[in-house]
Amino acid sequence: MTTGSGAAAGRTRPLLLLPLLWALMVGAGLLITGPAATRWPLSAEGDVNAWFAGHRTRPATSVSEWLTLIASTEGVIGVTLVCVVALVVLPRVPRWREAVFLGASVAAQSALFLFITLCVERPRPVVSHLDPAPPTSSFPSGHVGASVALYGGLATLAVTRLRGPWRYVAAAVLLVVPPAVAVSRLYRGMHHPSDVAGGLVNGACTLLVIGYALLAPRERPAPPPAGREGGRPPLPRSAGSTGGGVRGVRRVVVVRHPLACAEKLAQQVRDVLVRHGCTDVRWTSTTAERPCGDLAAYTAAGRVDLVVVCGGDGTVRACADELAGSGTALAVVPCGTGNLLARNLGLPVKPAAALDRALSGDRVRIDVGRVSGDGLAPTRFTVMAGAGFDAVMVRDASPRLKASLGWLAYVVSAVRHLGDPPMRLSIRLDTGDVVPRRARMVVIGNVGALQGGVPLLPDARPDSGRLEVVLLDPSGAVGWLAAAAHLLRGMMSGRSRRPAGTGTRGRRGTTGTTGTPGTTATPRTTPAAGPARRLVARGALEYFSAVRVDIRFAGSQAREVDGDCAVEGTRLVAEVEPGALLVQLPRSLRPAASRPYLRTDPAPTAAPAPAAPGLRCAESPAPADGGQGDRHAGPVAPVRPGRGTPASPAPLGRKP
């Protein structure tokens, strides 16, 4: 078995190639400046430099100046720092390895460059120089080496860490920079052609070595047997739980959004299920019209023990609408764009790993919201429902950008709507008074964190038995900045990153004492039956908490439910259904026995198992596709409306 130190040694071993690279570069430098200096092609290098010097033009000089700037010491350090900080701060899970890869590539290349120039003396070309000549040797080019390490490193991250075809375009643009810098150094008379070639080799080899050491996938140790985590004994079970993992589960339905869950991931899901002993597995694919596929037919046809949802929040929402209150557990394979429920529940970001961890864990009860309105048939949500700014942002996010940039597509869409006019609305919480308000956006949340851990609703807990509401009404640029600063501070201080199980079930209305550190939360409780609420960020954000929220808009507004567009309308009513949904969650998220906020449900008891064939769906009342699932595009089964959802047109529009 690979030990931790053994794995670390395996990772660092390629770094031993760096001294070898240094020796080879020094050898090449000594050859170029010594015995090979008067031989072709080195003998012709002066002509190349003279040709560039004789063809200088004003525009070309300006371009070369820019290229020199972005590859200069200051430029490279600045861009590297910004990218490293962004890699650590922006994604939900800090990209430490990628940040270290980028920083280490640039630093190692610079160190090698310095050590090479200590051993190789080469004068600059004998043409006029457009930059002050630094004291270092002309061989190799430091600008070119640094640009390869930095922009080549960014291209590597784009190709290996982004999704969609645009990553290749981004990588191609980044890869144009080093050759362009190389030409600019020749043009400016600062290097011989062999210097820039040396810089290219130095940067590229350093990048390869560091990339191999830090980014190359390593063989993982076999997963521990179910019921054990990392080889340690199982955690003590909390009261009420009769078993963790899914060993008692017999019948599994996998709901797969075919566009979000590619065949490769589907295969990984199959493998994980087999590893956890789930052999009776039925697959159903979603379509735009049937966002949970034939799940309803399967649940109607016989007992389903576990539903595995491979998709984004929209697919999870549709399945949760079907399963809420049924006692059938749901496991999330987060492969959509936002995956906010998975993020808020602290599931691993890697889809197959999320399922693997969850199946070793426990069944936990979380709340769902039930939302309705004019033209919006009652349906459930697990994340957030809203109107105004966030709804138009969801509506107008380009599918092409979503495929290439992921959740950044929503940011692009949001920027386009920053100037939208505010809505006039009235809000009624529980049985309180109707309160008039003006807002750009209203969001009702079961969970509170957005991408990157931005705590839009810092007090929202999926197990609180309540819904949290935020109204966004910034006045002018200052208001927007105050709101953004407030949310960023919350993100930095890690609010809303607490996984489920650390909240307070049944917490009552907020009092204003729980504001993000560093901000002034203004507690305001309206007299008599008025709602408990708090204002922050110069009044740009106003928070409420309730079991039932009834919002009426003066005019028709865009609405969204868990990131799916709903028809426009003038009303949004949401009510919490406490603990209505059973979710299979990793064991580390289980509540401690002293804090049983999230109720752990027994796994299905391994009832005396009939002979295997008797367990199979094919022999139970079969769904319309003959029990074969529609993995292979079988016939479409009629779908009954979700439990508690009146038979009416689909409430939610297809995503754009």
Scanning 97-105, 182-190, 221-229, 287-295 for contacts with ligand ATP by CB under 6 A, the matching segment is 287-295
- State which of residues 9, 20, 85, 288 lies at the interface with ligand ATP (CB under 6 A): 288
- State which of residues 191, 257, 357, 505 lies at the interface with ligand ATP (CB under 6 A): 257
> Rounded CA gap, 516 and 482, in Å?
13
The nearest distance, CB 204 to ligand ATP, in angstroms, is: 36
Structure tokens at 249: 């589960």
403 is an interface residue for ligand ATP by CB under 6 A: no
286 is an interface residue for ligand ATP by CB under 6 A: yes
- In the complex with ligand ATP, which residue's Cβ is closer, 373 or 406? 406
- In the complex with ligand ATP, which residue's Cβ is closer, 186 or 307? 307
The nearest distance, CB 394 to ligand ATP, in angstroms, is: 8
The nearest distance, CB 457 to ligand ATP, in angstroms, is: 17
- State which of residues 15, 162, 259, 454 lies at the interface with ligand ATP (CB under 6 A): 259
337 is an interface residue for ligand ATP by CB under 6 A: yes
Classify 555 as helix, strand or coil. Answer: strand
Scanning 284-292, 514-522, 609-617, 639-647 for contacts with ligand ATP by CB under 6 A, the matching segment is 284-292
Which positions from 600 to 619 touch ligand ATP by CB under 6 A, shown as an x/- string?
A: --------------------
Note the helical H segments in 397-464: 399-405, 408-416
Scanning 5-13, 257-265, 575-583, 606-614 for contacts with ligand ATP by CB under 6 A, the matching segment is 257-265
What is the footprint of ligand ATP within residues 531-570 (CB under 6 A)? 563-564
Scanning 25-33, 69-77, 252-260, 459-467 for contacts with ligand ATP by CB under 6 A, the matching segment is 252-260
CA dist 651 → 26, 288, 291, 646 (Å):
69, 12, 11, 10
* Residue 332: partners with Cβ closer than 8 Å, 6 or more residues away: 309, 316, 339, 341, 342, 345, 347, 354, 355, 358, 583
Could you tell me whether strands 441-445 and 384-388 are parallel, antiparallel, or unpaired per DSSP bridges?
Answer: antiparallel
Instruction: Please give the DSSP secondary-structure letter assigned to residue 621.
Output: S
The nearest distance, CB 364 to ligand ATP, in angstroms, is: 20
336 is an interface residue for ligand ATP by CB under 6 A: yes
445 is an interface residue for ligand ATP by CB under 6 A: no
- In the complex with ligand ATP, which residue's Cβ is closer, 323 or 536? 323
- In the complex with ligand ATP, which residue's Cβ is closer, 208 or 259? 259
The nearest distance, CB 429 to ligand ATP, in angstroms, is: 27
Contact 425, 437 (CB under 8 A): yes
Which positions from 205 to 244 touch ligand ATP by CB under 6 A, shown as an x/- string?
A: ----------------------------------------
Scanning 181-189, 258-266, 297-305, 599-607 for contacts with ligand ATP by CB under 6 A, the matching segment is 258-266
> Rounded CA gap, 367 and 460, in Å?
11
Contact 414, 393 (CB under 8 A): yes
Neighbours of 329 (CB within 10 A): 26
314 is an interface residue for ligand ATP by CB under 6 A: yes
Neighbours of 431 (CB within 10 A): 9
The nearest distance, CB 336 to ligand ATP, in angstroms, is: 2
Contact 64, 181 (CB under 8 A): no
> Rounded CA gap, 468 and 383, in Å?
11
Scanning 141-149, 305-313, 419-427, 504-512 for contacts with ligand ATP by CB under 6 A, the matching segment is 305-313
Helices 73-89 & 96-119, crossing angle to 10 degrees? 160
Classify 264 as helix, strand or coil. Answer: helix
Q: Which residue has the tokens 């807002």?
A: 439
Distance of CA 533 to the CA centre of its chain: 31
- The secondary structure element, H or E, covering residue 334 is strand 329-334
654 is an interface residue for ligand ATP by CB under 6 A: yes
Structure tokens at 543: 């928070």
| φ and ψ of 644, to 5 deg | 80, 0
What is the footprint of ligand ATP within residues 32-51 (CB under 6 A)? none
- State which of residues 258, 277, 499, 596 lies at the interface with ligand ATP (CB under 6 A): 258
311 is an interface residue for ligand ATP by CB under 6 A: yes
Scanning 8-16, 54-62, 147-155, 282-290 for contacts with ligand ATP by CB under 6 A, the matching segment is 282-290
DSSP string for 499-550: PTTSS-TT--S--STTPPTTS--EEEE-STTPPEEEEETTTTEEEEEESEEE
- In the complex with ligand ATP, which residue's Cβ is closer, 110 or 339? 339
* Cα dihedral 345/350/356/359 (nearest 10): 20
Classify 107 as helix, strand or coil. Answer: helix
- State which of residues 315, 360, 382, 516 lies at the interface with ligand ATP (CB under 6 A): 315
The nearest distance, CB 62 to ligand ATP, in angstroms, is: 43
Q: Which residue has the tokens 């009146």?
A: 646
Contact 195, 141 (CB under 8 A): yes
Amino acid in position 315: T
With 0-12 / 13-18 / 19 or more C-beta atoms within 10 angstroms meaning exposed / middle / buried, residue 396 is middle
- State which of residues 153, 312, 501, 515 lies at the interface with ligand ATP (CB under 6 A): 312
With 0-12 / 13-18 / 19 or more C-beta atoms within 10 angstroms meaning exposed / middle / buried, residue 321 is buried
CA dist 444 → 374, 459, 460, 551, 622 (Å):
17, 12, 10, 10, 38
Task: Number of residues interacting with ligand ATP: please give it, by CB under 6 A.
Answer: 21
* Residue 65: partners with Cβ closer than 8 Å, 6 or more residues away: 130
Scanning 25-33, 113-121, 207-215, 311-319 for contacts with ligand ATP by CB under 6 A, the matching segment is 311-319
| φ and ψ of 303, to 5 deg | -70, 130
The nearest distance, CB 562 to ligand ATP, in angstroms, is: 7
116 is an interface residue for ligand ATP by CB under 6 A: no
Instruction: Please give the DSSP secondary-structure letter assigned to residue 14.
Output: G
The nearest distance, CB 563 to ligand ATP, in angstroms, is: 4
167 is an interface residue for ligand ATP by CB under 6 A: no
| φ and ψ of 471, to 5 deg | -110, 130
The nearest distance, CB 337 to ligand ATP, in angstroms, is: 3
339 is an interface residue for ligand ATP by CB under 6 A: yes
400 is an interface residue for ligand ATP by CB under 6 A: no
- In the complex with ligand ATP, which residue's Cβ is closer, 311 or 515? 311
- In the complex with ligand ATP, which residue's Cβ is closer, 438 or 654? 654
Scanning 119-127, 172-180, 336-344, 503-511 for contacts with ligand ATP by CB under 6 A, the matching segment is 336-344
474 is an interface residue for ligand ATP by CB under 6 A: no
- The secondary structure element, H or E, covering residue 426 is strand 423-429
Residue nearest to ligand ATP (CB): 312
- State which of residues 29, 142, 211, 338 lies at the interface with ligand ATP (CB under 6 A): 338
Interface with ligand ATP by CB under 6 A: which residues?
A: 257-260, 286-288, 291, 311-315, 336-339, 563-564, 654-655
